[in-house]
A and B are shown apart, each in its own frame.
Chain A
Amino acid sequence: DGGITQSPKYLFRKEGQNVTLSCEQNLNHDAMYWYRQDPGQGLRLIYYSQIVNDFQKGDIAEGYSVSREKKESFPLTVTSAQKNPTAFYLCASSRSGQGAFTDTQYFGPGTRLTVL
């Protein structure tokens, strides 16, 4: 079955530690995204990538970093510089890099990160 996988489902981190969230897709999609979801709020875009080896900052990129070395993978690192990292993180992909934001986005199941 095609889809997006995120791991782990739950992640706990101590303050001051970096942590990397995994996102893999086998849909052969060009574009991939990372969103942050906080309780009672809509999704906020962290980073996106329309093509391999290229990515752009979203609205809340500070304290986060990404890489896109392979088409199917788009890992997100939450660094110690992120002041309030506890949240639900969603990865998504869409078919076309050119029409990225007008295409349907397909979401993974999410990773819930808690900073202790």
Chain B
Amino acid sequence: GDSVTQMEGPVTLSEEAFLTINCTYTATGYPSLFWYVQYPGEGLQLLLKATKADDKGSNKGFEATYRKETTSFHLEKGSVQVSDSAVYFCALGGGRTGGFKTIFGAGTRLFVKA
């Protein structure tokens, strides 16, 4: 069935460092891909999304490109801030073998030090 694998955390960076969080997926059909962010004690909120191959989602300095050839959707940010400390979830929605449901990765916790 459909699945999402993202790098294990925690990831600890200094402020202004470059961030990459890897995400790969397995799916059939034409799923949409998402990155959600969860701050402590809160629900998830959408960070960015891409709906087809080669689409780039971007928001608040974060970017991710839907790569069908490598089945990846890696999250990047050029310069992280302390306020970016959170848990980041990669997700896939609408894949045929997943029953079209949303599949979430396990999450990657990011700590940014001042």
Chain A interface (Cβ within 8 Å of chain B)? Answer: 4, 6, 40-43, 45, 48, 58-59, 90, 92, 99-110
The yes or no answer to B101 lying at the interface (CB within 8 A) is: yes
Per DSSP, chain B at the interface is strand
The number of residue pairs between A and B whose CB atoms lie closer than 8 Å in the complex comes to: 59
Stretch at the interface among B12-20, B43-51, B68-76, B77-85: B43-51
The yes or no answer to B104 lying at the interface (CB within 8 A) is: yes
Give 13 new A-B contacts, CB below 8 A, not counting A101-B32, A106-B45, A110-B42.
A6-B43, A40-B106, A42-B104, A45-B102, A101-B100, A102-B51, A102-B94, A104-B46, A106-B46, A107-B44, A107-B45, A109-B42, A110-B43
Binary A-proximity of B90-114 (CB < 8 A = 1, otherwise 0): 0001100000111111110000000
Chain B interface (Cβ within 8 Å of chain A)? Answer: 4, 31-32, 34, 36, 41-46, 49, 51, 89, 93-94, 100-107
CA distance in complex: A4, B43 (Å): 10
